[in-house]
Structure 1
Amino acid sequence: MGVVYPESQSARLGVVMRQSPGVTPWAKWVWRATAVLPGAADASWKLLRESDGVSEFHASTHNLELFVSDAEAYAHELQATTPSVYVILREVEGARTDKKPIHVLKVTVSPYEAQDYCDSGEEIVERVPMPASVLHWVTAFVDRHYENEPFVKRRRNELRTDRTQAGIGDARIAQLSDVYRAPTPIQSEEVE
């Protein structure tokens, strides 16, 4: 079990990875995260089912941690058409394609954290539909810890800055007109 922080909760989620045949000669297999298993026990690439060259594995189990400081991100995810769990993956360097070339780093329900992993370019981020039990748990956490702050438009102070002119152009340049004037055309000498 991971480190327990104050004002946080965690639950175990197993990650299901699907291995299917590739469609090009350069990729023998395609690996995708397809589901998460709430309350799963520890596993290491346990075969769940196999059919027509497609295999599904319980790749690993991770703690899904919710923090009060990230409640706004969770609330944002709950507003999505299909709330999701983000599975963060990393390719294993030097692994043969028929072996397990993917390492599951973590799972999160924060779209902001998932975006940070996308921005790094080193990880693969895949969305998996959030199971109903996880959805209820995250919703209860957000309801308990998140309070939407209403937008307050900033009001200007009473100072009127439009009544006085600060000066013409740059004060360091002595001239009668604005220093940001349009250039005048140069008279060219006609050659006959």
Structure 2
Amino acid sequence: MRRERLDNRWQPWRWILEDVVPQEAGFGTEARLMRRDDDAEQWLHPGFTVELFRDDAEGYYLNATTDHPCWFVLWRMDEPREGEEPFARPAAVSLSYHDAGRWLDAQETVEQVPAPPEVIEWLRAYVEEHHIVEPKRRKRPESFKRLEDRFGNPASVTTEKKFGGGGHE
């Protein structure tokens, strides 16, 4: 994550996603400051695992077939302790469009960065093996649907009167 200085009196800093990099043994397990100058800070947040699941093959397919496959990162601002600045902390990393969509629907902060070629290759191989294209089903016109009452029971429509004033004399 990168914290950048802004030329703005209401918000002097902003956080943005810098990159997603492969885990290395030397990273440790805690967030750590990598670089700091007057205009920016760069933080490393190690320890995230990206797993692919068969039931989300469609979400990976949507990412793998775009012009620019990417990582999706959900991140949140920690509540600052007294005397401290707010701190951005990633919460999840994914390659699935469906994950990103669910997070956005929940009004979370989600950013994306391009995935490197070796990750794209891995993702596409997984999609090739596990994604099944669902045939599009033709939707029946509403006029052909059977009538049901609000409880799901069959209903019918008639023009005959069941009760009240009978016929004409």
Sort the Cα spacing of 1:169 and 1:59 in 2 relative to 1 into closer, same or farther, 3 A: farther
Sort the Cα spacing of 1:105 and 1:155 in 2 relative to 1 into closer, same or farther, 3 A: closer
Corresponding residue for residue 159 of structure 2: 168
Q: Which of these two proteins has the greater Rg computed from alpha carbons?
A: 1
Report the count of equivalent residues: 153
Asked if the contact 2:4–2:14 (Cα under 8 Å) also holds between the matched residues in 1, the reply is: yes
**Bigger Cα displacement from structure 2, 48-57 vs 82-91:** 48-57
Corresponding residue for residue 23 of structure 2: 39
State the Cα distance separating 1:49 from its structure 2 match. Answer: 3.7
Corresponding residue for residue 137 of structure 1: 122
What TM-score do you get using the length of structure 2 for normalisation?
Answer: 0.73
Identity %: 26
Letter in 2 for 1:105: A
Q: 2:79 aligns with which of 80, 93, 102?
A: 93
Q: Could you list the runs of 5+ residues in structure 1 that have no partner in the other structure? A: 1-16, 177-192
Matched, 1:26 2:17: no
State the Cα distance separating 1:83 from its structure 2 match. Answer: 1.2
Sort the Cα spacing of 1:168 and 1:53 in 2 relative to 1 into closer, same or farther, 3 A: same
Structural RMSD (CA)? 3.2
Q: Could you list the runs of 5+ residues in structure 2 that have no partner in the other structure? A: 147-156
Sort the Cα spacing of 1:125 and 1:154 in 2 relative to 1 into closer, same or farther, 3 A: closer
Q: 1:68 aligns with which of 47, 50, 54?
A: 54
- Name the structure with the higher helix share: 2
Sort the Cα spacing of 1:39 and 1:59 in 2 relative to 1 into closer, same or farther, 3 A: closer
The separation in 1 between residues aligned to 2:6 and 2:163, in whole angstroms, is 69
- Name the structure with the higher strand share: 1
What TM-score do you get using the length of structure 1 for normalisation?
Answer: 0.66
